Chain A
Amino acid sequence: MTSENHVETTVVDGVHYHQYDIVIVGAGGAGMRAAIEAGPGAKTAVISKLYPTRSHTGAAQGGMAAALANVEEDSWEWHTFDTIKGGDYLVDQDAAEILAKEAIDAVIDLENMGLPFNRTPDGKIDQRRFGGHTRDHGKAPVRRACYAADRTGHMILQTLFQNCVKLGIEFYNEYYALDLVMTEVDAGDGTTSQKPSGVVAYELATGELHVFQAKAVIFATGGFGKIYKTTSNAHTLTGDGVGIIWRKGLPLEDMEFFQFHPTGLAGLGILLTEGARGEGAILRNASGERFMERYAPTIKDLAPRDIVARCMVQEVAEGRGAGPDKDYVLLDCTHLGAEVLETKLPDITEFARTYLGVDPVYEPVPVMPTAHYAMGGIPTNVNAEVLSDNTTVVPGLYAAGECACVSVHGSNRLGTNSLLDINVFGKRAGRNAVEYVNSGVDFTPLPDDPAAGVRGMLEVLRDSNGTERIAAIRKELQDEMDKGAQVFRTSESLDHVAEVIAGLRDRYRNIAVQDKGKRFNTDLLEAVELGFLLDLAEVVVASARNREESRGGHMRDDFPNRDDEKFMQHTMAYLSGDAHSSVASDHIRLDWKPVTITRYQPMERKY
């Protein structure tokens, strides 16, 4: 289903061909922010596996950081420092400076587009505290998060969609991008190189294939939290975009760094914003102790997420968990009062009531860490250009948002920096793509039958007489990732998960797709998505196994300290060798990339 009358397409052998200057894959915050920048300057299409307003940007709650200094003194330089320290010094500092500096315009842009931020008594955008954001390099928490109740992501997603409607952006809704088309071109020096020439997508409504030829392609496909069982991520966050890039032989960066958000509803993983703690909520163990005081004496419950998540798991491991099975801790909001909860935190109040039957006004809420955000992803430079190694740009290919790794988050992202990331780097991706397509470049010719690979993959899956259930393989993957590659990891736990994944990859070859139809075949697509999940989980585990230190979101029980001498570098994973082998070492090559340091030398990370 498409939302506009699209231009005529040609159909060859059942495949629809379209031509756009710029094709954006993904219609969440980063994709739509890019579209708003690209649409007026070049012929642009946005392809989404969902309707745009279903994208998971809408689930973000607490806020978007920017040093507006509307309610107290603040500076973008402090924000830069907090981002770098929060990321345990694995952040590329030039990128963090851009993020913090351009944050201010990014928030103002959204307000000018119509976003209904909460307001201060004098009518300015209101701001609140959030984990890891501090005044003057760690002295005390600072009010930096611009917010709209606990629906900031919803408001951003709606506002961006509204502005796409205003600009008449062309959307292809419920089109699943399944391949990036690369064409071998003469590099001019006697050698050849691969250049992106388009995207292949599967139309859910009809089961037909579409080739979108483009001069520039922007990936804004979000994360892949569904490699884990307990996650705040949507069912649709299966990492298709990151998986496509991987299968093209392009590298993935820092995949071992996955963020576990401290406050997921216990047993469910549904997100409760850190903004609750920003408003004063407190984490307590079974005896009611405010345990974060012991671990982070200065900023306590507002320590960054990696630290808080670890402390929670440790409290439970040491027998201080609450509940009949002592397997969670408590988020105490009771002292905030009904009015603060109803006006500033209404959605999470409702989530606790609906899903756990717990009323945060009167009772503390059971919480445990939930897989939330991939710090790693498709490596880009600060212009959102995708890299094919540590430095080489792939011309015409861009990535932004959670699928990308700039790297502004390093080994641990600060809360409110992701809504910022999608706006700053989504905008940069759109703007740079327009400049690129208007710089005199031509369409790169498509190879013969560009949809052949996707058609083959789908036929094998649909026609398979396999016996393995998609859901059974996926469940085992997710269970094992939760057990072996979650908040705490060891070489033993990771080796075990790697073995499990190898077995699952074998079983995947014998998968059963029951729905043999063409129209709205979500069964077939779940099989495709599972293939991406298996690929990405394998890279996460291999990268985690290789990093024998603890840093940010990657905590190795067997290597509990940060080791700057050996590991102050980004992991770069490449697909090479036998892609179909179930043994990871047959096809994953790991390399390193230096971290960009501008003004902050690594220090011990204490809060």
Chain B
Amino acid sequence: MTTATLQTTSTDAATTSFTVTFLIRRFDPEVDAEPRWQDFDVEMYATDRVLDALHKIKWEQDGSLTFRRSCAHGICGSDAMRINGRNRLACKTLIKDLDITKPIYVEAIKGLPLEKDLVVDMEPFFASYREVQPFLQASSAPSAGKERVQSVAERARFDDTTKCILCAACTSSCPVFWTDGQYFGPAAIVNAHRFIFDSRDEEAKVRLDILNDKEGVWRCRTTFNCTDACPRGIEVTKAIAEVKQAILRGTP
């Protein structure tokens, strides 16, 4: 294993490559009884992303390395993973922002069943999402062929939580979610918040009842891991707190 040897070809950071060591937690369900750590040395540039490193490993060294990815710029939510112990998107984590004098640890997000290498079963995550009725419910029909009217301020009220890309970085960073597999988790609450505070929606009460459940918002211990983990910059803990207050008030 080597660490961060500078190959000086130019003084320009963008054209200088480094050897960076990645320690990746591997698991092949057809072979391994337990996950194992494997190291790879990769030539990287400062502006490369961790996703580039995973691709270089897969494409040049070991084709069996398995991870999800799609858009590669932080909007599809496929590549949430634990990088040096923090949940991030691999495509939004640049090498220059990591300490490359030490190996970079990459492993699957926690709290969801491990399937293979960096891939987890996302189904429990989406099941919680579906539970909170994440869709507009409005019985009053707008006048035919017209939009519902919503003021700029009403629209702004829930803007933050519309940004969610369902990557699960928040939910799988939550210590309560790790120990209590029944907890809805931050992402489901964020998506409930998005409708609870939408002036056009009429079923906030139903969602507040759902989240008042013993596995709902009251499990949250405000550790702020979710807010730190969110690649979209959503103030997740604040959104959960607003849902808690709405439950206490009985209305958004």
Q: Which residues of A contact B (CB under 8 A)?
A: 1-3, 50-51, 53-56, 58-59, 104-105, 107-108, 111-114, 116-125, 148, 151, 154-155, 158, 162-163, 165-166, 205, 234-236, 270, 347, 351, 354-357, 469-471, 512-515, 517-523
Contacts and interface: CB of A to CB of B under 8 A. Distances in A.
A479 B120 CA distance: 33
B126 A517 contact: no
Contact of A234 (B58, B71, B92): B71
A518 B75 CA distance: 29
B30 A3 contact: no
Interface residues of B, number: 63
Given A3-B123, A514-B63, A116 B78 contact: no
A104 B145 contact: yes
A53 B135 contact: no
Interface string B121-152: 11100100110011110000010011111111
Contact of B145 (A108, A163, A513, A517): A108
11 contacts: A1-B122, A51-B166, A53-B166, A55-B76, A119-B155, A122-B149, A123-B152, A351-B74, A517-B30, A521-B66, A522-B58
Given A234-B71, A517-B28, A108 B146 contact: yes
A50 B165 CA distance: 14
A54 B76 contact: yes
A165 B64 contact: no
B69 interface: yes
B29 interface: yes
Contacts of A154: 75, 163, 165
B134 A116 contact: no
Contact of B77 (A54, A162, A236, A515): A54
Chain B facing A: main interface SS? loop
Given A51-B122, A163-B135, A166-B135, A117 B147 contact: yes
B200 interface: yes
Given A114-B136, A165-B135, A351-B73, A519 B29 contact: yes
Given A1-B121, A53-B76, A162-B136, 7 more contacts: A54-B70, A121-B152, A165-B135, A234-B72, A351-B73, A469-B60, A471-B59
B135 A270 contact: no
Contact of B135 (A162, A234, A471): A162
A36 B162 CA distance: 21
A45 B67 CA distance: 26
A104 B69 CA distance: 35
A121 B151 CA distance: 7
Q: By CB atoms of chain B within 10 A, which of A114, A124, A162, A357 has the most?
A: A114
Contact of A155 (B63, B129, B162): B162
A372 B125 CA distance: 32
Contacts of B63: 470, 512-515, 523
Contacts of B77: 53-54
A50 B71 contact: no
Nearest to A474: B59
B158 A354 contact: no
B13 to A, nearest CB: 10
Interface string B186-218: 000000000100101100000000000000000
A280 to B, nearest CB: 20
Contacts of B247: none
Contacts of B115: 205, 519-520
CB-based closest 9 A-B pairs: A114-B136, A514-B63, A471-B59, A123-B149, A515-B64, A162-B135, A523-B63, A166-B135, A111-B147
A120 B152 CA distance: 7
